Structure 1
Amino acid sequence: MSQGKSVSKFALSLGVSLIALGAMNAPALAQTAQEPDEATEVEEVVITGLRASLQSAQDIKRNSDVIVDSITAVDIGALPDRSVSEALQRISGITLQRTNEARDPARLAAEGGGVFIRGLSWVRSETNGRDIFSARNGRGLSFEDISADLLAGVDVYKNPAANQIEGGVGGTVNLRTRLPFDQGGRLLAFTTDYNYGDMMEEGYWSGSGIFSDRWMTGAGEIGLLANISYSSVGNRTNSITTDRFDPVTRLDGTTVYHPKYLGWRDGRWEQERTAVALALQWSPTADLTLTFQGFHSEADPTNIERVAGIQDATTLCPSAGLTYQNGVLTGGALTGYHEGGWGCWPTGNFVGGPQGGTMEGITYDGNTRYGEDHKETSDYSLRLEYTAGNWDFSGDIQYVESIADILSFTVGTQRSMLGTTPLEAMINIGGGVPSINVTGADLNVASDYYWGFAMDHIEANEADSLAWRGDATYHFDDVGGWLRNFTFGYRATDKTYITRQSNWNWSILSAQYWGFANDNGGTWHYPAVYLTDAAPSPGLPSHAEYYGFNNFFRGDIAVPGGFWLPTASLVSRGTAYANTLLSPITGRPWPEGQGWGWSPLVADWDNYNPTGDNPTGGVTQQDEETQAAYALLRFGHDSALPWPVDGNIGVRFVRTETATEGVCNCPFRPQPPVRR
C-alpha cells in the first residue's frame, strides 16, 4: 500500500540574547630568578596540557553571545573519552541514552547513544557549523559512531542565535575538526593505547595520527591536513531485568502487581571504528581563503547476547510464599502453584513429552541474539571567505551522505515443564542487590530443552543532502558606541531520506509453552523437537550449548547456574546458514493448519509490506527542501554600565517543503500528494 504526502511549512523565529559579564582584577604574582653570572643559551620549552584545553573552552563560552558550553582538545586524542557521545556527558545539562534503543530499556548499551540537552531530545548535529546526520538516527547524528580523536573540540548551543541553522528543539551540538591554518607550522603527532576488559577477558587497541603543514608559494599560502583514527573496543554487560508489571487479583480480592517476565542477560559487544578527516586551505591573498574539508566515518559494531528467564504465566500466578511492598512484588518463592492450592497450568501432557502429568512449575526459556551493523557517514564541503574593508563575505557548499545496514537474528529454546520435578524460583527484586535462584531439577540436561522460536530483522537505510549558504557581515566603525556588527544571509538545502525496515520476523520452530490445546483432545498443536533429537536435522544438536553465565556481575549476584542455548555460530553466520539447519523442522506440516514455521527475511524491498508487529516499518522515502534567510544585529558596550554588556537581536525566516512516499500497514486508503 502506497501513500504520498507533501507539506510546506513556514517558520519565523525571533531571538534576543543579552549577556552581562563582570570582571575582577586580581594582583599578578611574579617571581624573578637570579641572573646567572655568565650568559647562557637556554632552549625554550613550551608545555601545553589540560589547563590550555580548559582555558580555550572558557574563552569560547565567555566570548559567545549565546549560551554555549565547550570541550576542547589542544593535543591530538586529548578529548577525555573515545566517542563523541561519551565526551559530551562532561558538559553540564547533557545526558545520554544508555540503551541500544529508546523503546528497548532491557538492553543496556556499552557506550552512550542518544544525546539530550536539559532533558530534551531532537538535538541537531553539526560539523564545523554545517548540518550532518546519520541514516540510522533520524535527523540527527549517531554521535557514538564518531571518533573523538579527530576533533579539536565540541560546542553545545542551548539557545541558538538567528544566524545558526534551524531545527534543534533541545539544542545544537557542533563538532569542530582541525584545519591546517590553525597551526603555526608543521604538526606531526600520533597516539595509541591498549585496553583490556577483565570481564571480556580480551584486549583492544586503538590509534590515531595527524599531519598538518602550511607553505608559502608563488600562488599564495597553502595548507594541508590529514587525520586518521582507528578504534577497537569491547564490553561485557550483565543485567537482571523485569518486564512491565501487570495487575493480578488475589483470593482476598486485593490487586497486586507482578512482572510479566523476569530474566538475566549476558551481552558481549565489540566495535571497530575508522574515521578520516582531510582539509586543504588556500589563501591567494590576505583577504581571501578557500577551504575544502572531507570527513568519513565507518562503524561496525557486533553483539552477541545470551538471555534466560522466567516467562509470564508463572510470574503472574499469586503464590502463597510471595512478598509485596505497596502491592508490588518484591520477592519470595515462585512455585507455579496458585495460593489456592492448584497448579497455574492446565492438566495434560508435557510439551511434546512422552509422559503424562500436570504441567506445573516454572516456565524457563532463553535465547541467543546476534546483532551486526554497518554505518557510514561522509561529509564534503567547500568554503570561501573574503574580506573587503568593513565587510566579511563567506559562502559554503556541502554534500552529506550516510548509509546504515542492520541485522538482528535471535533463536530461542525452552525447557519442558516436567510435572514430576517442577521448578521453583526464589527471587529478590525488592531493592538492593537482586537475586534469582531456580531449584527443583537439574538444569544441565539437554534432553529437557527443545527448539522454541527464531526471529530476524533487517534494515537498509540511506540519506543524502546538498546544502548551499551565503553570509555577509558589516562591522561598524563607531568605536565606543553600542553597535558591533550586522550579519545577514541565506541558506538552501535538498535532502532525501530512504528508510527500509522489516518487521520482527518471529515464528515457531517447534513447541511453545503456551501451545496446549484443550479443544484437540489434550494434545499439542506444535510437537517439540528436543535439542538432542538429530532425526529432523542431523547437524542441529551440535549447535546447542550449556551456557553457564559464569562470573555474572563478577560473582556478586546469584542467578541460576546456566541454560541450554543456541550457539553463537548458529546465529552469527547469517540467516541463510541457520535456515539450512532449521528448515527441516520448520518445514514440517503443522497440525490444525496453523501455517507456523520460520523462514528468513529476504531484502526484496520493492515488494515488501510491513506487518502488525512493526507497523512503522516498510519502505519510506522523504524529500525535503528548505530555504532560510536571517538577519542578526550584535551590540554591546564595555563602559556604559558598571560591567560590560553585549547581546544580539535577530530574525530568521524558514520555508520547508516535504514530500513522502512509502509502503505502510495502514487502515485507511492512501491519498494522492497534496501541495500547500
Structure 2
Amino acid sequence: MKSVRNMQSYKRPYQRYCLGWAALACATATAATAQEAAPGPATAPPVVVEGKRASLMTAQQIKRDQLAIVDSVVADAIQALPDFSVTDALQRVTGVQIARDRGEGANVAIRGLTQTETTLNGREVFTAGTGRNLDFADVPAEMVAGIDVYKSASAEQIEGGLGGTIDLRTRRPFDFAGRQLAGTARLVHGALAGHTQPQWSVLASERWRGAGGEFGALLNLVHQRRAWREDQNSFGAPVLRGDLVPGRQVAVPSNTGESASTGRRERDAASAMLQWRPAPGAELYAEGRYEQFFTRQDTYQITLGIAPAFVPGSVSLFDGSSDVSRVSWLGAPASILSFARDTVDRNRALAVGGSWQSGALRLKADLSHSAGHNALYFAGPTLTGRTATLRTDLTGAQPSVTLPGNELLDPGQLQVAGIAYRTRPYDGKLNALQFDASYGLDGWLESLSAGVRLGRRDAGNAPGLVFGDTPVPAGLALAAAPSLAAAYPFSSFFPDGGQGPSNYLVGDLAQARDAAALRRLAGLTAPLPAAGGALGVWRIREQTDAAYVQARFNGGTLPLEGNAGVRLVRTREAVQGMQSLPSSGAIAPIGVDHAYHDYLPSLNLRYRLAPDLILRGAAAKSVTRPNFDQLSPSLTLVPNSNTPSANTGTAGNPALQAIRANNVDFALERYLGPAASATLTVFHKRVDGFIGAASQPESHDGAVYQVTRPYNSTRAVIKGAELGYQQMYDFLPGWLGGLGAQANYTFVDSATPSSLLGADTPLPNLSRHSANLVGMYERGPWSARLAYNWRDKFLSSINSTIGLGVLPVYTDGYGWLDASVGYKLSSGLTLSIEGGNLLRTVRRANFSSATRPQSLWTNDRQLSVTAQFRL
C-alpha cells in the first residue's frame, strides 16, 4: 500500500515547497524595507512587456536579432488565449505539431520529430520516464515569460535536439524596473464533465539598492484545477468472415469498445529567484522551481465482441466495398472494465550561478541540480457477461451501438472476472556544471566563445511495473458481490451525434484507490505485490562531457553576419539490469558500460538583402540519445524444451548508438513593421539511426535464442517548408485599426523504410500539412483572439491482420478552435471570457479506409472567466 499512500499525499511536497519560498520572499521583502532606499534605475532595460500588441513586437524582435532560425512567443500572447500548459501555447508556433490528451496538448514535435532538447533558462530539464525530455504539459502557461523554438543549432547550445531546441524562459526580478505584483484568477467549466474548477496565479517581484549593490527577489506561484471528460469509440482490427454474406468474404470489426473517462487535472508550480549585482559587470543568482502535475481518471469501458451467430438479414455492406456497415449479433460476449488511473509528475530544480564582464571578456558559470518522479496507479474490477442482441450501425457520421435487452443490468447474468492492480514509478536526477567564456574582438572576427559542460544523469524504474492483476477463481457471480457494481454514471455516451449503450452495470470505483479493500470485496485475501518482476527493472547512469568553440563574424563590407563552431561530446552510459538463466532457473545481474563521441559542427548565416529583408542559411549536425528503456540490458529468455530452435528472448540494447541528423535550413524574412512580418523557411534533414526492433540469434546460457532487441537501422529524410505572417492593421480607419492577424503553414514530407509494408512510409504521428490562423483585435479597452489550429491526417500505427495483411492506421485531419474576449476595466485590471475546443472536435482514426473505423474521440468544451491584475 506504500505506492497508494504516496499517490494520495501528493500535495504535501508542494505545500512544503511553497511555504519555504513564501518565507524566503517575506524575509527578502522585510530586508528591502529595512534598507529604506528607493529602487534605483535599472541597469538594463526590462524585457517583460505589457499588452498583447507589445508581445508581438517582442517576439518578432527576438526572431529578427537571432543569428539562428528561431520562433518565439511571449507571456502576454500566451495568456491571450485559454492555454493551460506550455504545450497548448506551442501548438501555434510555426513548424510545431502536438497531439491531444484529455482535451489538452501533448507530445510536442518540431517538424515531425519528437526528439527535441528541452531547456529552461538555457538549462537542461526533463520529466522522469523512459524518455529524456520535459513533458511540457507539466508546466503551467502562467509560469513562463516566453518560449523560444530554435530550428537551427549553434555550438553553444546543449546537444540532444534532433528536431530542435525549445527553451522556456521564466521571469527574473531584474526584468522589471521595480516592484511588480501581478496575477490571475479563473473559473473553468467543462461542459461535458459538468464541473467548474478554480485556477489562480500570482507573481511578486521586488528590486532595490543597498550598500552591497543591487538586489532582486521574485516569487511565482500557480495552481490549476480542471474537470475533464473524454469519450472514445473504438473498433478492433477487421477480420474476414465468410458466413455473413453468401458466397463472399467480408470484413467486420473484431470488436466494439466504448469508454467514458472523467476526472480532474491539477497543476501546482512554484518558482523563485534571487539576483544580486554587487558591481557593474558582475551578477550572481540563485533560483528554484517545483512543478507537480496530477491527473485523476475514472474510466468505464465496455468491449463487445463478435459472435458466431447473427440475425439473418441484418448484414449490410458499404457501397462498393466488402466492409460490413450494419450487423446484429446474437450472444456477443461483453467485458466491462472499470478502473481508476492516476498519474503524477513531480519536477524540482535548484541552480546557482553568475556572470562577470570586464572590457571585452565575459565569463559565466552555472551549477544546477534537477530531480523528477513519475508514478502510475491503476486498479479496478472486470465484469463479464453475454448480450442477447448487439446492433452495430457504422453508416452515420457517428457509429451507433445499441443493446436492445437489459441482460447486462442483471447482476445474476454477470460475473466478476478479476481485479486489476498496477503501479509503476520512474525516477531521475541530473547534476550539471557549465562554464562559458567569450572575448570581443575588432574587425571581421567579432568574438570568440568557448565553454565546457559536465552532466551526470541517473534514471531508473525500481521497483518496476508492479503487476497485481488477479483473476477471481472460477468466476464470481456479481449477485454474490453486489457492492462491486454500480449503474453506468452518465446520461449519454458520445453526445455529439453518436449512440452508445448505457444499459449496463459498471464496476464501482468508490474503493478503487484502496486496492486491498477492493480485492477484499471480491473475496481475494492474498497480499498485494510490493515489487515488479526483476527482469523489468533497470538503472542507468549517464555521463556527458562537452566542450565547444564558436566564432562570431561579419562580412566586412558585405551586410553579412554569422557564427560557426563545433561541439565535442563524450557520452558514457553504465546500464544495469537482470538476466534470466534458464539452465538453473536463476536470475543474475547484468551490467554494461558503453561510450561514444560526437562532433557537432554548426554554421548560421544572416545576410541583409535590404534593411527589412533578411536571408538566412544554417547547417548543423544534431544528435539525440536513445531512450532509457531501450538501453536496458535486462534479458528475458524463454526456452522451448520440445523445439530448441524455437527458443526466444527479449532485451534492450545498451550498445545502441545515438540518432544523428544532418540539417540544412534557408529562410527569407521580410519585416513590414514593428509587429508585422512575412517569412518563408525551407529545410532538409537526413536522419540516420532511427531505432527499430529486430530479432537475431544469440548464444546465452549454453543455448541459442532468437532474441528481439532494438537496433539502429532505419533512416529517414524529412524536408519541407514553413510560411509565417503577422500584422496589426493600424492603417485601417476607425475601429478597423484594431484588427490584426497571425497565420502560419507548415509542409513536411518524410520517408522512412517500413519492414511491415516493405516500402517507405511517413514518420508516425506527423501530418504532412498543418496550419494556424489567429484573428486579433486590440482597440481601447477591448481585446480579442480567435485561434484555429489544424493538422492534416497522419499515420498513427501499422497493424498486421490475418487474411487482410498489413493495415496502416491513419488519424483524419482535424481542427481545434479557441477564443477569448477581454475588457480592461482599469490600467491594472482586465476581465476576460475564454473558450477552448469551441467546436468540440471529434477526432477519427481508421484502418486505411473510412469504411473501417478504428477510433473516435470527443472532449470537453472548456469555458472560463478570467480576471488579470497588475499592480
Alignment TM-score, normalising by the size of structure 1:
0.75
2:477 to 530, 533, 544: 530
CA contact (8 A) 1:261 1:315 kept: no
316 and 221 in structure 1: CA distance in 2 versus 1, 3 angstrom threshold = farther
Match of 2:867 in 1: none
1:609 aligned onto 2:556: no
Distance in 2, matches of 1:322 and 1:183, equals: 69
Deviation at 1:549, TM superposition (A): 3.9
233 and 48 in structure 1: CA distance in 2 versus 1, 3 angstrom threshold = same
CA contact (8 A) 1:372 1:406 kept: yes
548 and 300 in structure 1: CA distance in 2 versus 1, 3 angstrom threshold = closer
SS of residue paired to 1:167: coil
Deviation at 1:396, TM superposition (A): 0.8
Deviation at 1:239, TM superposition (A): 1.7
Match of 2:177 in 1: 184
Match of 1:32 in 2: none
Match of 2:448 in 1: 486
Distance in 2, matches of 1:378 and 1:672, equals: 29
Mapping of residues 211-610 of structure 1, within 5 Å: 211-249=204-242, 255-311=249-305, 321-324=315-318, 329-336=323-330, 361-416=331-386, 422-428=388-394, 430=395, 432-478=397-443, 482-500=444-462, 501-502=464-465, 504-509=467-472, 526=474, 528-533=475-480, 540-547=481-488, 549-554=490-495, 556-571=497-512, 573-582=513-522, 584=523, 586=524, 601-604=528-531, 608-610=533-535
Q: Deviations over 1:2-43 (max 9, x none)?
A: xxxxxxxxxxxxxxxxxxxxxxxxxxxxxxxxxxxxxxxxxx
440 and 304 in structure 1: CA distance in 2 versus 1, 3 angstrom threshold = closer
Amino acid at match of 2:264: E
Deviation at 1:555, TM superposition (A): 6.0
Deviation at 1:648, TM superposition (A): 1.9
Deviation at 1:56, TM superposition (A): 1.0
Distance in 2, matches of 1:398 and 1:142, equals: 19
Amino acid at match of 2:362: D
CA contact (8 A) 2:466 2:530 kept: no
Distance in 2, matches of 1:60 and 1:666, equals: 58
CA contact (8 A) 1:416 1:450 kept: no
Q: Deviations over 1:64-102 (max 9, x none)?
A: 111211110149955751111111111122122324xxx
Match of 2:66 in 1: 64
SS of residue paired to 1:229: strand
CA contact (8 A) 1:454 1:507 kept: yes
Amino acid at match of 2:529: V
Distance in 1, matches of 2:173 and 2:127, equals: 27
Cα-Cα RMSD: 2.8
Distance in 2, matches of 1:491 and 1:393, equals: 14
1:193 aligned onto 2:120: no
SS of residue paired to 1:557: coil
Match of 1:658 in 2: 573
CA contact (8 A) 2:424 2:466 kept: no
Distance in 2, matches of 1:659 and 1:79, equals: 45
CA contact (8 A) 2:439 2:448 kept: yes
SS of residue paired to 1:91: coil
Amino acid at match of 2:118: S
Distance in 1, matches of 2:336 and 2:238, equals: 20
203 and 619 in structure 1: CA distance in 2 versus 1, 3 angstrom threshold = same
CA contact (8 A) 1:376 1:402 kept: yes
318 and 148 in structure 1: CA distance in 2 versus 1, 3 angstrom threshold = farther
65 and 637 in structure 1: CA distance in 2 versus 1, 3 angstrom threshold = same
Deviation at 1:666, TM superposition (A): 8.8
Distance in 1, matches of 2:465 and 2:307, equals: 29
Number of equivalent positions: 542
Distance in 2, matches of 1:120 and 1:53, equals: 28
483 and 393 in structure 1: CA distance in 2 versus 1, 3 angstrom threshold = same
Q: Gaps spanning 5+ residues in structure 1: where?
A: 1-45, 100-108, 337-360, 511-525, 534-539, 588-598, 611-617
92 and 671 in structure 1: CA distance in 2 versus 1, 3 angstrom threshold = same
384 and 311 in structure 1: CA distance in 2 versus 1, 3 angstrom threshold = same
63 and 79 in structure 1: CA distance in 2 versus 1, 3 angstrom threshold = farther
Distance in 2, matches of 1:508 and 1:177, equals: 50
CA contact (8 A) 2:287 2:352 kept: yes
Amino acid at match of 1:467: A
Distance in 1, matches of 2:96 and 2:309, equals: 38
CA contact (8 A) 1:609 1:665 kept: no
404 and 662 in structure 1: CA distance in 2 versus 1, 3 angstrom threshold = same
Distance in 2, matches of 1:132 and 1:316, equals: 56
CA contact (8 A) 2:78 2:89 kept: no
Residue identity (%): 28
1:619 aligned onto 2:581: no
Amino acid at match of 2:570: R
SS of residue paired to 1:529: strand
Amino acid at match of 1:645: L
Q: Which has the higher contact order (CA 8 A, sep 6+)?
A: 1
Distance in 1, matches of 2:423 and 2:581, equals: 21
Distance in 2, matches of 1:318 and 1:466, equals: 68
Match of 2:751 in 1: none
Distance in 2, matches of 1:113 and 1:645, equals: 39
CA contact (8 A) 1:307 1:366 kept: yes
Deviation at 1:487, TM superposition (A): 1.4
SS of residue paired to 2:430: strand
Distance in 2, matches of 1:111 and 1:213, equals: 34
- Higher mean alpha-carbon deviation, 217-226 vs 546-555, is at 546-555
Match of 1:515 in 2: none
CA contact (8 A) 1:470 1:489 kept: yes
Deviation at 1:297, TM superposition (A): 0.7
Deviation at 1:371, TM superposition (A): 0.9
Distance in 1, matches of 2:165 and 2:91, equals: 14
SS of residue paired to 1:562: coil
Distance in 2, matches of 1:282 and 1:401, equals: 26
325 and 67 in structure 1: CA distance in 2 versus 1, 3 angstrom threshold = farther
Deviation at 1:224, TM superposition (A): 0.6
Match of 1:31 in 2: none
SS of residue paired to 1:66: coil
SS of residue paired to 1:335: strand
Deviation at 1:671, TM superposition (A): 5.5
1:647 to 541, 562, 571: 562
CA contact (8 A) 1:319 1:334 kept: no
Distance in 2, matches of 1:176 and 1:316, equals: 61
Deviation at 1:424, TM superposition (A): 2.9
SS of residue paired to 2:520: helix
Q: Deviations over 1:283-318 (max 9, x none)?
A: 011110011111111122110011113125569999
1:156 to 146, 149, 155: 149
260 and 453 in structure 1: CA distance in 2 versus 1, 3 angstrom threshold = farther
1:632 to 538, 550, 554: 550
CA contact (8 A) 1:260 1:313 kept: no
Match of 2:86 in 1: 84
CA contact (8 A) 1:549 1:562 kept: no
Q: Deviations over 1:410-444 (max 9, x none)?
A: 31112235xxxx3131321x562222122255543
Match of 2:25 in 1: none
Which structure has greater strand proportion? Answer: 2
CA contact (8 A) 1:110 1:269 kept: no
Amino acid at match of 1:48: E
Deviation at 1:552, TM superposition (A): 2.4
Q: Gaps spanning 5+ residues in structure 2: where?
A: 1-47, 596-871
